[in-house]
């Protein structure tokens, strides 16, 4: 099953006998906003208009725990996450489609969490809300309680030590912008640079200008050129485990399984004893 779905395909599913649960996960990285600009309010955006039947899910409080030593967006408490999913109507035998405002990062975080905790039928709306040409609604639905109970997976998740090892023995992609990878700038975390051995692979390279993913074959060729050859274990990190999930999604579109280091650079760089590489090269 493809990890993404087009707006046309979604409209057909919504008109069918087993319509998917829709999750609206609109979110923006407030630290990257211009000084003086008010923080993005996902709930307010949802109230102004969303896909019919969609339920809003908050990334900061339901798809992550509070910031701390484990990073800016550590794994959520699974009881909190599970309750949020059931409140939204997520059920084991019902498909789920997640969308955000078009960037795809937040939707990918929800997709990754649901997949990692056992849901078998989750997709991301390619292009997000801007790709949807159908009706929108402003009222919040009250879906029947779902029965999904998250169970952590045994694969697909990296901690700091596993990420460092993968950078030596496989391929570890850094999904942040190139200037942050190189250490030219660091607007958010304690220090700039990258995990030694990691390969720069910005998420911006995975999508067209409209935010939709590039064709699977193009993505596959791109990642293979960066080292994700057949049989090579692949991992991804970013700033805080959000845009990295988008890279894992792009790899899934290309047919390449990958693990996510959720703590990412925000966790790695918080420990002054961990090594930091700078410049355009992995080492």
The position carrying tokens 């908050």 is 58
Tell me how far apart the alpha carbons of residues 264 and 71 are, in angstroms, rounded to a whole number: 7
Question: Which of 64, 52, 63, 206 shows the shortest CA–CA distance to 129?
Answer: 52
CA 186 to chain centre: 21
CB 118 within 8 A of CB 153: yes
Whether residue 219 contacts residue 194, with contact meaning beta carbons closer than 8 Å, is answered with: no
238 belongs to the catalytic site: yes
Beta strands at 96-99 and 21-24: parallel, antiparallel or unpaired:
parallel
4, 238, 249, 260: which is the annotated catalytic residue? 238
263: Cα within 13 Å, side-chain hemisphere: 17
- Active site residue ranges: 238
């Amino acid at each position: 099953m493809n990890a993404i779905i087009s707006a046309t395909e979604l409209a057909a599913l919504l008109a069918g006998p087993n319509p998917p649960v829709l999750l609206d996960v609109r979110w923006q990285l407030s630290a990257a906003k211009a000084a003086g600009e008010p923080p993005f309010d996902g709930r307010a955006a949802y109230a102004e208009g969303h896909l019919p039947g969609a339920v809003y899910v908050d990334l900061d409080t339901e798809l992550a725990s509070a910031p701390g030593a484990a990073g800016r967006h550590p794994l959520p408490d699974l009881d909190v996450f599970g309750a949020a999913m059931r409140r939204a109507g997520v059920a084991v035998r019902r498909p789920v489609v997640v969308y955000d405002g078009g960037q795809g990062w937040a939707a990918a975080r929800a997709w990754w969490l649901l997949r990692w905790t056992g849901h078998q039928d989750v997709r991301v709306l390619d292009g997000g809300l801007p790709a949807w040409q159908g009706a929108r609604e402003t009222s919040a639905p009250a879906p029947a309680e779902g029965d999904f109970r998250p169970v952590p997976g045994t694969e697909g998740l990296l901690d700091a030590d596993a990420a460092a090892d993968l950078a030596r023995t496989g391929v570890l992609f850094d999904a942040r912008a190139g200037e942050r990878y190189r250490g030219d700038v660091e607007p958010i975390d304690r220090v700039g640079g990258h995990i030694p051995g990691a390969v720069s692979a910005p998420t911006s390279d995975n999508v067209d200008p409209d935010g939709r993913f590039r064709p699977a074959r193009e993505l596959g060729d791109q990642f293979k050129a960066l080292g994700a050859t057949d049989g090579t274990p692949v991992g991804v990190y970013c700033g805080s485990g959000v845009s990295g999930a988008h890279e894992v999604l792009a790899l899934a579109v290309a047919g390449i399984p990958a693990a996510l280091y959720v703590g990412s650079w925000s966790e790695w760089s918080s420990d002054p004893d961990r090594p930091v590489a700078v410049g355009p090269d992995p080492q």
